[in-house]
Amino acid sequence: MTKIKKKNILVTGSAGFIGSALVIQLLKEGNNVEGIDNHNNYYDILLKESRLKRQINHSNYLHHRINIENQNDLEKIFEKRKFDTVVNLAAQAGVRYSLINPKKYITTNILGFTNILEACKNHNVSHLVYASSSSIYGLNRNIPFSAHDMTNHPISVYAATKKSNELLAHTYSYLYNLPTTGLRFFTVYGPWDRPDMALQKFANSIISEKPINLFNYGNHKRDFTYIDDIVEGIIKVISKPATENSKWNPLQPDAASSSCPYRIYNIGNNSMVKLEKYLDILEKELGKKAKREFLPMQAGDIENTYANVDDLINDFNYRPSTPVETGIKKFSEWFKNYYKL
């Protein structure tokens, strides 16, 4: 794991799947970390509380149960400590839920993110790192997805809000010289993940002998990225704030950089795995077969995801590398232990 110079770091979404894993690693490296999480009931609150127990008593950690949509509460936290870096992982997640409750995504992912930008600007934060998503590629079929591709055709409200985050970040980088780095995560999985994510949904269905819906008749391919690789990527990025691209050409604008301190990177495993293979590996680890139901493509879904990570390699000498077999094995061990199977 890459070590960074000791910093004061704020992580939003710090009781979430990625946020909690990041906080734990940052604390191991000796940083002072404060976390924000609203502990909403989008999924099992007990899982969030269990994640939080792993970090809450650390002497260098302070936890805040607030909502980033509340600008006053957010300002109070920024006023008390000078943060070197802010990592915004707080968001309303889930492509499919965004089809049902789009307004929640607007308030949390856009209003909340704007509050984060304002706080960073007002308190001279040196670097804002924030989560974007592979969902942003939408109708793009130029595989593997490159951060230099245009992303103007999202197909879910969730993806549209992540696109909005990138646009807002660029505006603040340009107007206020705030270094911002957006990270497009590709299908993150591993221990402590969310119950609404594919791996834990599949595992729960297998154990309870319920059928698993495989949309697109199981032909989806995903760039599955293990949680530890995501955390390593974030920490690499924290250590190197975004800078302006001196070669940026407004006549041929590069979507992944700018004339201001703004950068976009993919963090993915740089490989595609068919969803049915993913399920095959999980069946083997759990020692039980799944009941499969094959269904047509679902609204909002991207058929295949595949990350071009050349920029991550060139700028940080890093690429995710955990094989899906290894990652699912570690997830299964956690799953059986956590749910006492």
Q: Which residues are marked as active site?
A: 158
- What is the residue type of 82? K
Closest by CA position to 224, among listed 283, 269, 190 = 269
CA dist 226 and 268 (Å) reads: 9
Longest C-alpha distance within the chain, in Å? 59
CA dist 162 and 293 (Å) reads: 31
Is residue 225 within 8 A of residue 267, CB to CB? The reply is: yes
Q: Exposed, middle or buried: residue 331 (CB in 10 Å: 0-12, 13-18, 19+)? A: buried
**12: which strand partners?**
36, 88
- What is the residue type of 301? D
Q: Which residue has the tokens 């230099």?
A: 148
